[in-house]
Amino acid sequence: MIRKVSVKLKNTHGESLSETMIAGLLIAFGLILAVSMILAGSNMVNKADKQWTAYYQEKNALEGRTTEVTKTSGTLTLTDKDLGTGLNTSVIDIYTSKDENGDAVFSAYEKAGN
């Protein structure tokens, strides 16, 4: 084994054309993969940013009542889990925004009369 390594180190013939071309091909393939991963990551970041922006815009519009919302009333009862007794009961207003399919997207509530 040591003899083979020694012979290879002392070899003065250089690399063959095919070895050089394969090495270049491997380097090019690695660079293409790296660029593809960077572009895919960038696209994912942009898509996530757009989704977060849409989420916060809709949430802010609901809380500010600047979008079309459905208002309903309900009762909120806080119960002690261990004792099983009601601690507090409040009447609340529930505001819900819906998407184009009529499905609820966001809901917010506040004490009735506020």
Instruction: Return phi, psi of residue 58, to 5°.
Output: -65, -40
Domains: count for the chain: 2
pLDDT (tens digit, 9 = 90+) per residue, 24-77?
Answer: 999 999 999 999 999 999 999 999 999 999 888 888 877 777 777 777 888 888
Residues 16, 60: one domain?
A: yes
Residue 98: per-residue pLDDT: 76
Residues 105, 74: one domain?
A: yes
CA distances from 73 to 12, 38, 111, 113 (A): 89, 50, 10, 11
Residues 88, 44: one domain?
A: no
Residue 16: per-residue pLDDT: 76
Residue 71: per-residue pLDDT: 79
pLDDT (tens digit, 9 = 90+) per residue, 70-91?
Answer: 778 888 888 877 776 767 788 8
- The residue assigned the tokens 């004490």 is 111
Domain encompassing residue 62: 1-67
Residue 12: per-residue pLDDT: 66
Strand 86-98: give its sheet, edge to edge.
Answer: 70-79, 86-98, 104-111
Residues 58, 73: one domain?
A: no
14 pLDDT above the threshold of 70: no
Residues 52, 74: one domain?
A: no
Residues 59, 82: one domain?
A: no
9 pLDDT above the threshold of 70: no
Residues 73, 49: one domain?
A: no
